[in-house]
Amino acid sequence: MRVLVIGSGAREHALLLALRKDPSVDHLVIAPGNAGTAAVAEQRDIDITSGSAVTALAREVEADLVVIGPEVPLVLGVADAVRAAGIACFGPSQDAARIEGSKAFAKDVMATAGVRTARSEIIDNPADLDAALNNFGPEAGEAAWVVKDDGLAAGKGVVVTADRAAARAHAAGLLDSGHPVLLESFLDGPELSLFCVVDGATVVPLLPAQDFKRVGDGDSGPNTGGMGAYAPLPWLSGEALAAIVSDVVEPVAAELVRRGSRFTGLLYAGLAMTSTGPAVVEFNCRFGDPETQAVLALLESPLGQLLHAAATGGLSEFGALRWRDAAAVTVVLAAENYPGRPRVGDVISGAEADGVLHAGTSVRDDGAVVSSGGRVLSVVGVGADLTAARADAYRILDSIRLPGSHFRTDIGAAAAAGKIQV
């Protein structure tokens, strides 16, 4: 099987490594890729937001399967173009991708499906902002205001704060730039990410993971695209996981089918395990980063065959997934000043080590690997338990040098110490 992967981050690097283990996959192509993926797959530089460009490349490389990693091409309908050309594609249609592209659409789907989520209000007029803020946050008896960009924001369009002035400033900035604002009630309890391979009403869950959005240790500082993750979750029971699949993901998948927006691809449910039960924080229409790096490090089932089955209507016959009896921890190495405007162009040493996945990297004319984005590398450690996996990840990090870089030192620490409870 010849597989074309679309994207350039650590998520796509992890997908390539997992696909390479599948005996049915004999050729890998990635567009556009990065300095690390060049060692795993043939690389092509195209506009991945163009359905015609992706389709033309898929035809040229005779792809049997196209796997679209990032959300932007999916929201723009690239998967539709690939499927219209008769090529199997793992990734939802433009219509179904609205589950991530429009938080208002996702809220409506959840309401109809009877899925519990945060109370919310959409504001598109600045004149309505102050009155709406009064209905949320500490002034409504909640711990904090939750202010979100209604569209795509690469994980950085959310502010959670007990400071009304900060909440208002973020919301006003979004409105001034023409973006509707979503205010939500605050959900208490630990959060988790559950990836499910979906084709219509058929849902196959992967291992649950937990990611870390804040830039600093102890969940301090601004939100980012994700600074680390771990899997599985020792604090989540099998019964609780099964209930999330049956009470949250399956009803949403079925509602999308009912609406004529059948979902085929990776449906990501972000949830909070609140004091009154699980509630959805968000849905995404693709593999999440950095959780993918940890989850796929533990997958033993053939990934190419799994994704191809979903893309071609055979998911219901695929069978149970197999997992390594271990834990995995992903730690993101970020460039100086991230999540602000990152410093780029610095030489990276040690990035060729096992367990290192590339994201914001490129190759200079002299052959040096340099930073080219905010989240530069993901380091994945694997061990018998979370303590061992953490030790492995941070051991690898110690061998990497990038001027001005930073990373969190507490990824998975609370779970490893047994401090997370539902």
In this prediction, residue 149 carries a pLDDT of: 83
Query: pLDDT tens digits, residue range 42-53?
Result: 999 999 999 999
Instruction: In whole angstroms, give the CA distance from residue 30 to residue 6.
Output: 6
For the residues 101-124, what does the mean pLDDT come to? 92
Query: Where are the alpha helices (H) located in 217-264, listed in sequence order?
Result: 238-244, 250-258
Class of residue 109 by CB neighbours under 10 A (exposed 0-12, middle 13-18, buried 19+): buried
Buried b (16+ CB within 10 A) or exposed e, 305-325: bbbbbbbeeebeebeeeeeee
The residue assigned the tokens 């941070």 is 394
In this prediction, residue 158 carries a pLDDT of: 83
Is residue 292's pLDDT more than 60? yes
Pick 75 or 142 by higher pLDDT. Answer: 75
In this prediction, residue 154 carries a pLDDT of: 56
Instruction: In whole angstroms, give the CA distance from residue 50 to residue 68.
Output: 12
For the residues 76-101, what does the mean pLDDT come to? 98
Pick 148 or 325 by higher pLDDT. Answer: 325
Is residue 120's pLDDT more than 90? no
List CB contacts of 328: < 8 A, sequence separation 6 or more.
Answer: 230, 231, 293, 294, 295, 297, 298, 380, 381, 382, 389
Q: Which of 129, 77, 75 is nearest to 103 (CA)?
A: 75
Average pLDDT taken over every residue of the chain: 95
In this prediction, residue 275 carries a pLDDT of: 87
Q: Is 410 helix (H, G, I), strand (E, B) or coil?
A: coil
Is residue 416's pLDDT more than 60? yes
> Which of 27-41, 137-151, 227-241, 380-394 shows the lowest mean pLDDT across its residues?
137-151
In this prediction, residue 21 carries a pLDDT of: 98
Instruction: In whole angstroms, give the CA distance from residue 299 to residue 24.
Output: 16
The structure tokens listed for 220 are 């301090």
In this prediction, residue 142 carries a pLDDT of: 87
Question: What are the chain's domains?
Answer: 2-92 (3.40.50.20), 123-179 (3.30.1490), 191-317 (3.30.470.20), 327-417 (3.90.600.10)
Q: Is 239 helix (H, G, I), strand (E, B) or coil?
A: helix
In this prediction, residue 153 carries a pLDDT of: 56
Q: How confident is the model at residue 367 (pLDDT cuts 50, 70, 90)?
A: very high
Query: pLDDT tens digits, residue range 33-74?
Result: 999 999 999 999 999 999 999 999 999 999 999 999 999 999
Query: pLDDT tens digits, residue range 183-210?
Result: 989 888 999 999 999 999 999 999 999 9
Query: pLDDT tens digits, residue range 343-364?
Result: 999 999 999 999 999 999 999 9
Instruction: In whole angstroms, give the CA distance from residue 25 to residue 302.
Output: 9
pTM: 0.93
Exposure on the CB side of residue 284, measured as CA atoms within 13 A: 21
Give the bridge partners for 150, in sequence order. none
Instruction: In whole angstroms, give the CA distance from residue 86 to residue 139.
Output: 54
In this prediction, residue 141 carries a pLDDT of: 86
In this prediction, residue 246 carries a pLDDT of: 98
In this prediction, residue 148 carries a pLDDT of: 87
Instruction: State percent of the chain over pLDDT 70.
Output: 99
Q: How confident is the model at residue 276 (pLDDT cuts 50, 70, 90)?
A: confident
The structure tokens listed for 364 are 């200079």
- DSSP sequence for 329-384: EEEEEE-TTTTSS-----B-BSTTSTTEEESSEEE-TTS-EEE-SSEEEEEEEEES
> Which of 124-138, 287-301, 323-337 shows the lowest mean pLDDT across its residues?
124-138
Please answer whether residues 248 and 263 qualify as being in contact, where contact means their C-beta atoms are separated by less than 8 angstroms. Answer: no
Query: pLDDT tens digits, residue range 127-171?
Result: 989 998 999 989 888 888 899 887 665 555 788 899 999 999 999
List CB contacts of 46: < 8 A, sequence separation 6 or more.
Answer: 31, 32, 53, 54, 57
